[in-house]
Amino acid sequence: MQLILILLVIAGGMGLSVEAGLLGPLGSEVGDLWATFSIFGVGAALTFLLMLFFSPRNSASFFTQPSWTLLGGILGPIYVVILTVAVPSIGIAMTMIGILAGQVFKSLMIDHYALFGTAHRKIDSKRIIALIFIIAALFLVAKI
């Protein structure tokens, strides 16, 4: 099961690279914020259809959840605007490696301190080395 999940997240990462490639030209044509809005509009419509047909009818309302759990709704558009602005200037590979570096760094902190109700996973030397390799990739791909 873990291998299937790993393959799914790899596929998800590939999808993010495609999304970044689509957002750059779209943002150049219609504007960065309109591109972001269109991506979220299409995504919201698709999510609504999936909820309509596949979501359990007796699930808890998100209105009853703590408000901090909805912060992803703020972070998502910020992420997409960053993609839309960065890709035309620094390219998809550099943008994705930079995003990956930020994700891994923050993920290590979240795991280490068991934030947001996640399981505690201590930062060890292997995890630090992995982060160093990602940072090295930033320098190797950068044309500075």
Check residue 86 and give left, alpha or beta (phi > 0: left; psi -120 to 50: alpha): alpha
| Residue at 4 is within a domain | no
| Residue at 34 is within a domain | yes
| Residue at 124 is within a domain | yes
| Residue at 60 is within a domain | yes
Torsion of CA 122, 123, 126, 128, to 10 degrees: 170
Total-model pTM: 0.83
| Closest-CA residue to 100 (of 24, 13, 15) | 13
Structural domain including 48 reads 13-141
Q: Could you read off the pLDDT of 116-127 as tens digits, one per residue?
A: 889 999 999 999
What pLDDT band is residue 144 in, cutting at 50, 70 and 90? low
Residue 43's Cα: distance from chain center in Å? Answer: 14
122 and 112 Cβ atoms separated by less than 8 Å: yes
| Residue at 5 is within a domain | no
User: How many other C-beta atoms lie within 10 A of the C-beta of residue 3?
Assistant: 7
Q: Could you read off the pLDDT of 44-85 as tens digits, one per residue?
A: 999 999 999 998 878 788 788 888 888 888 999 999 999 999
| Residue at 37 is within a domain | yes
| Residue at 6 is within a domain | no
| Residue at 8 is within a domain | no
Q: Could you read off the pLDDT of 14-26 as tens digits, one per residue?
A: 999 999 999 989 9
Q: What are the distances in angstroms from CA 113 to CA 9, 72, 83?
A: 23, 19, 28
Q: Could you read off the pLDDT of 25-55 as tens digits, one per residue?
A: 999 999 999 999 999 999 999 999 999 999 8
Q: State yes or no: pLDDT of 97 exceeds 90.
A: yes
Number of domains making up the chain: 1
End-to-end CA distance of the chain, in Å? 42
